[in-house]
Amino acid sequence: MSVTRVFVGRLAGRGVFDPVGDRIGKVRDVLVVFRAAGAPRVVGLIVEIPGKRRVFVPIGRVTSIGSGQVITTGLINVRRFEQRGGETRMIAELIGRDVQLAPEQTGAAATTARIEDAAIERSRSGEWLVSEVFVRLPKPAAPFSRGDSRIVRWSELRWPSSAAGSQSAELLIQTMVDLKPADLAEALLELPQHRMLEVIGELPDERVADALEEMSEQDQLALLAQLPSDRTADVLDRMEPDDAADLISALPTAQGEELLDLMEPEEAEDVRRLLEYDADTAGGLMSPAPIVLSGESSVAEGLAMIRRAEIPPAMASAVYVTHPPYETPTGEYIGMAHFQRMLRFPPHERLVSLIDTEIEPVTVDASAAEVSRRLASYDLVAMPVVDGQRHLVGVVTVDDVLDHLLPDDWRHADDDPSSPAAWGAAR
């Protein structure tokens, strides 16, 4: 059943379907334009289609908004969404903003409230307009209490036509909690710059680091240029050492040294070591923090090490056995114990009895092409890297190699360049 009024918070995440019931994607935001008089007009939906690409669907091609789903004509432009001047995203830019309530709403002087949701409604002329907003007043002095909430008409808000004003990023961040790093990076880059910086300012360093690792070098540098040095250093501390080294190597030398000095000494040491190698060699691609154990360690100990949540899947594919010391650079490399092989042995079995000694590690100066050939030849997702004395210094994973082999713009390239740019008319 189609409705003529819906709150944006409930609309987000709903499935979008064509007339025959095939799923097109899901709603991510609602796009509006402010007018000189009257409520903002809805111009379309931002829809995420397969491939995590966000596209624009004009509101005129939405035939029905029902409970749990949105029906369209089926004709959409599959070009990646780009926000135009004068357009405003309701979830990303309006929700969480502070506004002034008219005196008749509070029974006193104009009061500041925060928008927590907003409703769009279809008018008699067929246009969709922002009709009402759900706002929360400032919380009283009593502890553990929340401010009163109410629904008010848009016309009862004191709001400049430019939609200026302070805005909290808290509600927007809540919509990003479950996003994977690549999706978080894309969501951040789609925001207006000032809004992106507000969100990053409230995100934990770990989440910013995850997102930064998934951005192109150009986007990384543009973002870091807007952050203070101490925050940048904190984020670099949380990044994988190889990703941090790649980023620092792209900065001016003086700025890179400043950030290394601000980083935690242990993290900075790993990054400095990686910067000694050429970027297109195994030494430049590797992570310097593999899982290293002695040959006398048990299968149970090995499985406990790779079970840790912070270990990336590719890095958790094997445990590497060396002579002491067991921090890189280690003692002489002995072999690797594959995760799947460890599962076939009893927990008390020593790792030395099941390690693979036939796979020769690559040296730090091996080319990226050589590393990729070795990974493919042995059907591995991770390859040990040793120095001239066969000390284990790191591990190259398949994702590191793919990042190097793919073109620089692979994150923004179309899924199928040969496919037509649009279904139906262009936006």
Judgement on whether residues 352 and 261 belong to the same structural domain of the protein: no
The pLDDT, as a whole number, for residue 160 is 45
Residue 124 is assigned to a structural domain of this protein: no
Decide if 160 is inside a domain.
no
Q: How far apart are CA 205 and CA 415, in angstroms?
A: 31
Residue at 346 is within a domain: yes
Per the domain annotation, does 113 fall within a domain?
no
Joined together, the tokens standing for residue 201 give: 């300012």
Q: What is the domain-level CATH number for residue 28?
A: 2.30.30.240
Q: Are residues 317 and 392 in the same domain?
A: yes
CATH classification of the domain holding 389: 3.10.580.10
Q: How many CB atoms lie within 10 A of CB 361?
A: 23
371: left (phi over 0), alpha (psi -120 to 50) or beta: alpha
Does residue 296 share a domain with residue 246?
Answer: no
pTM for this model (two decimals)? 0.67
9-18, 99-108, 119-128, 338-347 — which is least confidently predicted? 99-108
CA separation for the pair 200, 224 (Å, rounded): 11
Last residue of a domain, one of 49, 75, 92: 92
- 219 & 300 share domain: no
Domain limit, last residue, from 252, 276, 300: 276
- How many folded domains does the chain comprise? 3
Note whether 12 and 41 are same-domain residues: yes
Averaged pLDDT for residues 322-346: 95
Is 40 in the same domain as 13? yes
CATH code at 188?
Answer: 1.25.60.10
| 364 lies in some domain | yes
d(CA 172, CA 155): 24
- Assess whether 354 and 249 both reside in one domain: no
Confidence at 12, pLDDT banded by 50, 70, 90: confident
Domain identity same for 271 and 308: no
Query: Mean pLDDT lowest for which of 169-178, 260-269, 271-280?
Result: 169-178
Domain containing 346 equals 292-405
> What percent of the chain has pLDDT above 90?
53
Residue 395: its pLDDT value, please? 96
Q: Which residues of 169-191 are buried (b: 16+ CB within 10 A; e: fewer)?
A: bebbbebbeebeeeebbbbbbbb
Separation CA 98–CA 203 (nearest Å): 20
